[in-house]
Structure 1
Amino acid sequence: MTKRKKENTDLKNQIYRTVADSTAIETGESICELEKKLKNNDSKFNWLTLA
């Protein structure tokens, strides 16, 4: 894996973690479960992307 691709993957994982953490605070759900839901491509909103 190239350095740039690894940086993009790391950034994407950080975004998932941040969104899951914020949502967990509001909903009381587990951060791990929310991360799995975000990474799951079977979502009805999978055409939406994170910033």
Structure 2
Amino acid sequence: MKSRTTRSKITKQQIYRSVASSTAIETGETVQKIEQNLKQYQAQAKATGLAH
């Protein structure tokens, strides 16, 4: 029999942190600044009806 593994739920916060840290390594900016920008752009996109 195969054993089943349980998957943890991936949150938006975890995705933002992952993208931000990867981008920070490439660009030299801080993770916090990039993460803040990602959240800001997402909020703007929702407000204008883009990228749902």
Instruction: Work out whether the TM-score is over 0.5.
Output: yes
- Where does structure 1 lack aligned partners over 5 or more consecutive residues? 1-7
The structure showing larger relative contact order (alpha-carbon pairs under 8 Å, at least 6 residues apart) is 1
> How many residue pairs align between the two structures?
39
Larger radius of gyration: 2
Once the 2 structures are TM-superposed, how far is the Cα of residue 26 of structure 1 from its aligned partner?
A: 0.1
- Where does structure 2 lack aligned partners over 5 or more consecutive residues? 1-8
Distance in 2 between residues matched to 1:42 and 1:35, nearest whole Å: 14
Aligned to 1:17: 17
Deviation beyond 3 Å, 4+ runs, structure 1 = none
Identity %: 47
Once the 2 structures are TM-superposed, how far is the Cα of residue 42 of structure 1 from its aligned partner?
A: 3.1
Quick check: 1:26 aligned with 2:26? yes
CA deviation map 1:1-51 (0-9, x unaligned): xxxxxxx7x6100000000000000000000000000000236xx62x6xx
Distance in 2 between residues matched to 1:22 and 1:30, nearest whole Å: 10
Q: TM-score, normalised by structure 2?
A: 0.61
Q: TM-score, normalised by structure 1?
A: 0.62
The one-letter code matched in structure 1 to 2:23 is T
